[in-house]
């Protein structure tokens, strides 16, 4: 891994932690814990949580044209690939990436078994709650935290840990479980595209096994259709039992220019549709929409300070600046969350 990539990895996960107070338009705690949590929403493939308007029409028109054999824009089913960023595009990412909240909680949970962490960086600062000091230690600190919380176990063991954490942890200001902060309109979008023969993939800057822990239940996406940043794995025979172990050593960073690379390597086909929300998705959308034939790029613009958060050009998490500048010329659709979505979270009742 190059120095540049390692830096990107560190920046990717920790920049959010550097300024935890950065919550541009943070919504206040809400009393919506008791709302319906059915995961059966929209298996029918309708966009009920999307308001009528130019955004919804543009997406529906694209899908209609590419699935109509009589259209010049028709796309054979084998080529119907749709890719989605995760953090900020399928679920919330403020005030810090959910995976970072998991890392912090895991260090606290493992504290008793690691008395040496009380006096060893970056653990000592993290345990004191000084996330800024951790971020200031750079990529080495990230590597140590990832290795300590993600390494040395099988992917199945790791995912069970993530699921147990998701089941018992609530967002600090929203009061919702993180997996309730999946965007209902996007869950509908995934089902809608699948109902039209598109296969849906996640292409996340987050760790692949973290996303795989809940992607099937939350999004209906199987583990092999989740692409993400990866740590190295190691095959070994433990007490006679063949085992694949996560090492915690970062191997591939699936962000920025890494996203088209991850897609080419894992999917082996240029997508027809790409959804993102930040400049980390710019290259994924640019490569997708530069292909021949009908292509669709969509940016989710976080404009809803009342129901979620409003942030874009100045945000340290999910910064969206170049994408907003170039979307019109590139023909990308920009979703205005406040305008285009009737509801935001999976936890909310449809209106």
Candidate residues 140, 265, 306, 331; the one interacting with a second copy per rule CB under 8 A: 265
Inter-residue contact 197 to 80 (CB < 8 Å) = yes
Phi first, then psi: give them for residue 265, nearest 5 degrees: -70, -45
If phi > 0 it is left, if psi is from -120 to 50 it is alpha, else beta; for residue 116 that is alpha
Closer residue to a second copy (CB): 89 or 285: 285
Candidate residues 5, 171, 177, 212; the one interacting with a second copy per rule CB under 8 A: 212
Candidate residues 129, 152, 222, 350; the one interacting with a second copy per rule CB under 8 A: 222
Site string for a second copy, 82-121 (x = CB under 8 A): ----------------------------------------
Nearest approach in angstroms of CB 258 to a second copy is 8
Residue 3, C-beta contacts closer than 8 angstroms, at least 6 positions apart: none
Residue corresponding to tokens 């292409």? 203
Token pair of 147 as six digits = 């290795």
Candidates 174-182, 253-261, 300-308, 318-326: pick the segment binding a second copy (CB under 8 A): 253-261
Token pair of 117 as six digits = 């962490």
- Complete DSSP assignment for 110-163: TGGG-GGGGGSTTHHHHHTT-HHHHHHTTHHHHHHHHHHHHSSS-HHHHHHHHH
Q: Is 253 in the site for a second copy (CB under 8 A)?
A: no
Site string for a second copy, 48-87 (x = CB under 8 A): ------------------------------x--x------
Residue corresponding to tokens 């009742």? 349
Candidate residues 31, 52, 116, 224; the one interacting with a second copy per rule CB under 8 A: 224
Q: Say whether 82 sits in a helix, a strand or coil.
A: strand
Q: Is 234 in the site for a second copy (CB under 8 A)?
A: yes
Closer residue to a second copy (CB): 134 or 284: 284
Residue corresponding to tokens 């997708």? 288
Closest CA to 90 of 2, 4, 206: 206
Closer residue to a second copy (CB): 176 or 245: 245
Give bridge partners of residue 207 from the DSSP assignment: 229
* Strand (E) or helix (H) holding 186: helix 184-195
Site string for a second copy, 143-182 (x = CB under 8 A): ------------xx--------------------------
Nearest approach in angstroms of CB 218 to a second copy is 14
Phi first, then psi: give them for residue 122, nearest 5 degrees: -85, 0
Q: E strands of the chain, at which residues?
A: 81-84, 199-207, 226-238, 241-252, 273-276, 296-303, 310-311, 333-336
Nearest approach in angstroms of CB 323 to a second copy is 14
- Count of residues in contact with a second copy, rule CB under 8 A: 40
Q: Is 305 in the site for a second copy (CB under 8 A)?
A: no
Token pair of 105 as six digits = 């909680």
Please report, as ranges, the residues that interact with a second copy according to CB under 8 A. Answer: 78, 81, 155-156, 199, 201, 208-209, 212, 216, 222-226, 230, 233-235, 237, 241-244, 257-258, 260-261, 263-270, 283, 286-287, 290
């Amino acid at each position: 891994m190059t120095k540049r990539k390692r830096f990107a990895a560190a920046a990717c996960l920790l920049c959010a932690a550097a300024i935890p107070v950065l919550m541009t338009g943070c919504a206040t705690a809400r009393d919506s814990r008791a709302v319906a949590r059915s995961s059966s929403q929209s298996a029918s493939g309708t966009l009920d949580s999307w308001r009528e308007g130019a955004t919804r029409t543009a997406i529906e028109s694209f899908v209609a044209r590419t699935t109509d054999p009589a259209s010049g824009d028709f796309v054979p089913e084998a080529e119907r690939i749709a890719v989605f960023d995760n953090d900020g595009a399928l679920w919330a990412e403020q005030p810090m990436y959910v995976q970072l909240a998991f890392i912090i909680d895991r260090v606290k949970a493992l504290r008793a078994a690691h008395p040496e962490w009380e006096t060893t960086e970056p653990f000592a600062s993290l345990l004191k709650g000084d996330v800024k000091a951790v971020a200031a230690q750079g990529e080495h600190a990230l590597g140590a935290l990832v290795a300590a919380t993600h390494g040395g176990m099988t992917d199945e063991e790791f995912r069970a840990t993530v699921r147990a954490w998701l089941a018992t942890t609530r967002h600090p200001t929203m009061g919702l479980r993180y997996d309730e902060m999946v965007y209902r309109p996007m869950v509908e979008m995934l089902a809608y595209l699948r109902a039209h023969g598109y296969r849906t993939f996640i292409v996340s800057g987050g760790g692949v096994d973290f996303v795989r822990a809940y992607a099937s239940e939350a999004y209906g996406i199987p583990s092999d259709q989740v692409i993400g940043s990866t740590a190295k794995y190691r095959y070994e025979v433990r007490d006679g039992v063949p085992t694949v172990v996560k090492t915690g050593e970062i191997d591939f960073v699936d962000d920025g220019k890494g996203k088209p690379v991850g897609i080419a390597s894992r999917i082996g086909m240029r997508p027809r549709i790409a959804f993102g929300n930040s400049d980390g998705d710019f290259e994924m959308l640019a490569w997708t929409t530069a292909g021949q034939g009908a292509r669709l790029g969509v940016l989710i613009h976080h404009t809803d300070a009342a129901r979620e958060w409003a942030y874009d050009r100045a945000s340290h998490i999910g910064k969206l600046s170049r994408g907003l500048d170039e979307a019109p010329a590139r023909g990308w659709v920009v979703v205005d969350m406040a305008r285009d979505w009737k509801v935001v979270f999976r936890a909310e009742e449809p209106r």
